[in-house]
Amino acid sequence: MMQGPTTVVPRTAFDLPRIVGAGLSHRGIVRDKNEDAVLTDPGGTLWAVADGMGGYGRGDVASDIVIEALSAIDDSANPLDALQDRLAAANAEIRTQSGGRTMGATVVALMIARAVGHVVWAGDSRAYLLRSGRLRQVTRDHTLVQVMVDRGEIDPATAEHHPEKHIITRAVGGAEDLELDAAAVPLVPGDRMLLCSDGLTGCVADDAIASWLASADTPDTAVRTLVNAALQAGAPDNVSAVAVFVVAGG
């Protein structure tokens, strides 16, 4: 007996993992207002932390401009091109609104496409990858102190306590032409990523970050625990964290 046509849907080579995350921002203990802003995505694609340049005025406006620009990215866009284009647009908008005054924000943004995390950044907001209990810093700070480390003028341990550690060399809105760095991170189930402002890393050491991030049962628990750790340490700056967990698909 002849059978009717059969439709066969081919399986992909592997099941893409699910991405879940959460973000939290706090003004800290000392600052009067919060000039940080975070972007979280229920769909699991786009995440970011922006840190307004405190002390220069309107840092909160600059960070909001950065996050608003990034939020316009379509999930289907080419990650690197989209991140760079939207941050360039934010750079131009901040410079227009600055009226010639110093105004800007550091940024670290993550866009995940087909199990690859595309990270773009300017300044000292950081991205970390936790894999198999080991924490790795994906980004490299754009700061005067990092330049001194790269030149061999000081060692990394000295840099952590250097009085000029917060002087940044790149920021969105800081120059006519925005210079960004980028990295691509293939992701596997069990990986955890953290995006954060320097308000967190200035108060919580990397080994403590690794421990809290590894032990958290959810991204929400991770960011709450990390921000609380910074607050317990005095939090002289605004503190922001976005935790992204890579979970087996299915």
- Please answer whether residues 79 and 70 qualify as being in contact, where contact means their C-beta atoms are separated by less than 8 angstroms: no
| pLDDT > 90 fraction of the chain, expressed in percent and rounded | 78
The pTM for the full model equals 0.91
pLDDT of residue 13: 43
CA-to-CA distance for 51 and 62, rounded, in angstroms?
8
The pLDDT value recorded for residue 146 is 73
Q: Domains along the chain? A: 18-247 (3.60.40.10)
Furthest C-alpha separation in the chain: 84
d(CA 145, CA 55) in angstroms, rounded, equals 19
Mean pLDDT of 29-49: 96
The pLDDT of residue 38 is 98
pLDDT at 56: 59
Q: What HEC string does the chain produce?
A: CCCCCCCCCCCCCCCCCEEEEEEEEECCCCCCCCCEEEECCCCCCEEEEEEECCCCCCHHHHHHHHHHHHHCCCCCCCHHHHHHHHHHHHHHHHHHHHCCCCCCEEEEEEEEECCEEEEEEECCCEEEEEECCEEEECCCCCEHHHHHHHCCCCCHHHHCCCCCCCCECCCECCCCCCCCEEEEEECCCCCEEEEECHHHHCCCCHHHHHHHHHHCCCHHHHHHHHHHHHHHCCCCCCEEEEEEEEECCC
Q: What is the pLDDT of residues 86-136, one digit of tens each?
A: 999 999 999 999 887 889 999 999 999 999 999 999 999 999 999 999 999
What is the token pair recorded at 25?
């921002």
> Looking at the predicted structure, is the pLDDT value of residue 12 above 50?
no
Section 6-15 average pLDDT:
48
Residue of 51 and 6 predicted with greater confidence: 51
**Listed residue (84, 86, 91, 48) closest to 69, CA to CA:** 86
Among 54, 24, 59, CA closest to 38: 24
Instruction: Please tell me the predicted confidence (pLDDT) of residue 14.
Output: 58
Per-residue pLDDT tens digits for 58-81 = 899 999 999 999 999 999 999 999
Closest to 238 (Cα-Cα) out of 211, 199, 207: 199
Per-residue pLDDT reduced to its tens digit, 136-182? 999 999 987 777 777 777 777 766 777 677 789 999 999 999 999 99
Condensed to tens digits (0 to 9), the pLDDT of residues 185-213 reads 999 999 999 999 999 999 999 999 999 99
